[in-house]
Chains A and B, each alone.
Chain A
Amino acid sequence: MAARTRRPEIRFGEHLTWAGEIARSALTSGPAIAWVSTFLLLPVLGIAFISFLSRGTYGEIQLPMTAGNYLRLAGFGVLGFDPQYPVIILRSLVLAAGTTVVCLVASFPLAFFIAGLAGRAKQIALTLVVIPFWTNLLIRTYAWQLLLGPDSLAARAAVAVGLAEEGMPLYPSALAVYLGMLCAYLPFMVLPLYTAVEKIDWAIAEAASDLGADGVRVFRHALLPQVMPGMVAGVILVFIPATGQFVIPDLLGGAKTVLLGNAIQQQFGASRDWPFGSAIALVGMAVVLFGLWFQARAGARTGEEGPL
């Protein structure tokens, strides 16, 4: 009777029995582990497995196991060497890096400006930064097509100052692509950067100035190191999703070039070559992870605290 009324009770910091330890671990870390396993680990393992299989005549996934997908990705196809896919990966990385740089350049003044505003204005400014997210990405991107179209104000202004010819739309163009990318990713850079700027100890900037640093060197030696953690967080938050982005480049760049994102989409969709699509996805992921690891290692060496 007594044994049946006793309820298992778990308290933190208490010495527990073996079963208690298991129960506590399952309760605390269990949900997170289950989530990550189900929605990240298993799919990635699945993709890794599929990437070593072959494509059947009708697009089915079948044996034998092969490394052919990776060879093809590296450019060694049936028709001899063709660096088509390395170029696609490189192109995606360049676009992501360019987007990151554009976001950084735009975010620095914005973050300092917002941090310098008084209480209420600051709240409004931060809300304005986030507001574009309330609209669907596709709608925003189509909106840019209208804004940059042949008869738009921007196009006419460009003609007026001699940057474009009469009746020529500003899109598709690299400018339009980067505008769209900037619009999509700016908040991911501004928000962490703003948080870092907000925490700046200005006495350190004054100390630098007092010790003989002019404006540029005050920024470089006293302010930049202080906002570095926010900057690194922003770079990661922009760079990683930007490597997989293809909707914006397609809609604003004229769908003339293939990027990592549409290469994968093509293989899983129209080409019905899941094994090859899996290989592209995996390599793309590996390249990004390597970049992060390299950044973390470089950060550890210089003593900066990286986000990882």
Chain B
Amino acid sequence: MVADASPAPAPGPAAGQREARRRAIADGAPAIEVEGLVRRFGDFTALDAIDLSIREGEFFSLLGPSGCGKTTLLRIIGGLDVADGGVVRIAGQDARTIPAHRRPVNTVFQSYALFPHLDVRDNVAFGLRMKKVPEKEVRTRVERTLELLQIGGFIDRKPSQLSGGQKQRVALARALVNEPKVLLLDEPLGALDLKLRKELQVELLSLQRRLGITFVFVTHDQEEALVMSDRIAVMRAGRIEQMGEAEAIYERPRNRYVGQFLGEVNLVEGRAERRGAGDLLVQTALGALRVETRPGDPAREGALTLAIRPEKVRIATDGAPGENRIRATVEQVIYIGAESHYRLRAGEIPFTAYAMNASAGAKEIEEGQPLLLELPPAALKVLED
């Protein structure tokens, strides 16, 4: 899309900023390495043998529902909790014996945890003063950081005199002023309303790009993770279900859990029938579907499940020949403005399709209407379960 719109030639060394960033991160040294990390609370296993490696300068998200262990993992990296087994290395150094107050990381807490008895200036200066930084330097660095986060005007206020968004910025400033190697963020936008949240997402992202600090970001909001992250680890019950670039996780989910956690997904059960080079024919209740496979896809025989995202389901307008066509009935039309969501039923299988409302005028698809759908072979993905 970008390549089409811009006059600059797309191919060659200028393959795009994103590719350059991707390569720079991949070449970077590991900022955080976690190996076989285990944490138990009584009988409950909060973290079950977690392995991951976060590169310098990366924006890495831990995504999962509450209770999946993402916050526990963050706390162990920050030194606020102790693992029952496994290794954490920060910048190549075994961090197990380094107490929290000597780790080169800082945390932005979900509740902000600002010092209620200190004003904004002293809150932000706290970390520098603990490190005995000369007071003159403290002053300039605090002011510079507050300026960076656009809260210079609140320097004399107490936390109780700030709004949620301002507290959030102070919490960020208080951590960033220490110039940590890694910034740990525990659902930092969780307490804010949607509009402010979106604004701060963009701001946080540009801040991270500008400062080049590694961010480890904990969230349960899949959209937030997709918008901001270089890579995402999707967690469930103390394990990492899938780890990879935001796009890969969304487009090529490994299993039902990942597919369903990151937005909506249509599932079709079937049997593998014939495997070709780069594709697979699957017999389903909706007929035979051809699936384009990629290296790394699970090589399943027999019964399997296919997944396709609702926005990839095409509504075919006429009887012209096409691949993977199925018949469905419209059960409900949900008009959202820019797009409409169609709740469909194909045989026994519930289906969802999203379509942009590109044409002017009234709704074209009515409830109860039969519809011809096309499932592009490249958009179908074989799941592991």
Cross-chain contact B101 with A209 (CB below 8 angstroms): yes
B127 close to A (CB within 8 Å): yes
Q: How far is the CA of A212 from the CA of B105 in the complex (A)?
A: 10
State the CA gap A210–B174 with chains docked (Å). 11
Q: Tell whether, in the assembled complex, residue A211 and residue B113 are in contact, meaning their CB atoms are under 8 Å apart.
A: no
Cα of A211 to Cα of B115 in the assembled complex, Å:
12
Tell me, rounded to whole Å, the shortest Cβ–Cβ distance linking A119 to chain B.
17
Interface residues contributed by chain A, number (CB under 8 Å) = 21
B259 at the interface (CB under 8 A from A): no
Pick out which of these stretches binds chain B: A96-104, A172-180, A214-222, A250-258: A214-222
Please name the residue on chain A nearest to B124 by beta carbon.
A211
Closest to A222 in B: B115
A-B contacts, CB under 8 A, total:
69
How far is B99's CA from A204's CA once the two chains are assembled, in angstroms? 17
Question: Out of B107, B114, B115, B117, which one reaches A210, CB within 8 Å?
Answer: B107
Known pairs A203-B111, A303-B158; A210 contacts B130 (CB<8 A)? no
Identify which of residues 69-123 in chain B touch chain A, using a CB-to-CB cut-off of 8 Å. 78-80, 99-102, 105-107, 109, 111, 113-117
Residues on the B chain within 8 Å of A303, using CB: 117, 158
The answer to whether residues A203 and B178 also contact, given A211-B130, A303-B158 and a CB cut-off of 8 A, is no
Nearest-CB distance from A216 to chain B (Å)?
11
Which listed residue, B102, B105, B113, B130, touches A203 by the CB 8 Å rule?
B113
Q: Is A198 an interface residue (CB 8 A)?
A: no
Closest to A202 in B: B113
Tell me the chain A residues, 188-234 only, with Cβ under 8 Å from chain B: 201, 203-204, 206-214, 217-218, 221-222, 225-226, 228
Find out whether the CB atom of A207 lies under 8 angstroms from the CB atom of B115: yes
Q: Are B174 and A211 in contact (CB under 8 A)?
A: yes
Question: Is B109 in contact with A211, judged by CB distance below 8 angstroms?
Answer: no
Give the contacting residue for A204; candidates B78, B79, B113, B158; CB below 8 A.
Answer: B113
Is A304 at the interface (CB under 8 A from chain B)? yes
**Would A214 and B158 count as touching, CB distance under 8 A?**
no
**B363 within 8 A of partner (CB):** no
Q: Which of A203, A207, A210 has the most CB of B within 10 A?
A: A210
Contact B106 A211 (CB under 8 A): yes
A208 and B80 contact, CB distance less than 8 A: no
Assess whether A206 is in contact with B174, with CB atoms less than 8 Å apart: no
The answer to whether B117 and A212 touch across the interface, beta carbons within 8 angstroms, is no
CB distance from A196 to the nearest CB of B (A): 13
Q: Are B115 and A204 in contact (CB under 8 A)?
A: yes
Distance in angstroms from B168 CB to nearest chain A CB is 14
Question: Which of chain B's residues has its CB closest to A210's CB?
Answer: B107
Complex CA gap A304/B80 in Å reads 28
Q: Which residues of B contact A (CB under 8 A)?
A: 78-80, 99-102, 105-107, 109, 111, 113-117, 126-127, 130-131, 158, 174-175, 178
- 24 sample A-B contacts, Cβ–Cβ < 8 Å, listed by A number: A203-B111, A204-B115, A206-B80, A206-B107, A206-B109, A206-B113, A207-B107, A207-B113, A207-B114, A207-B174, A209-B79, A210-B79, A210-B100, A211-B106, A211-B127, A211-B174, A212-B127, A212-B130, A212-B131, A213-B101, A218-B101, A221-B126, A225-B116, A303-B117
Residues of A within 8 A of B (CB): 201, 203-204, 206-214, 217-218, 221-222, 225-226, 228, 303-304
Other A-B pairs beyond A208-B126, A212-B127, 6, CB < 8 Å = A210-B79, A210-B105, A210-B175, A211-B106, A211-B127, A211-B175
In the A-B complex, list the 7 residue pairs whose CB atoms are closest, starting with the nearest.
Answer: A212-B130, A211-B127, A203-B113, A207-B113, A225-B117, A209-B100, A210-B107
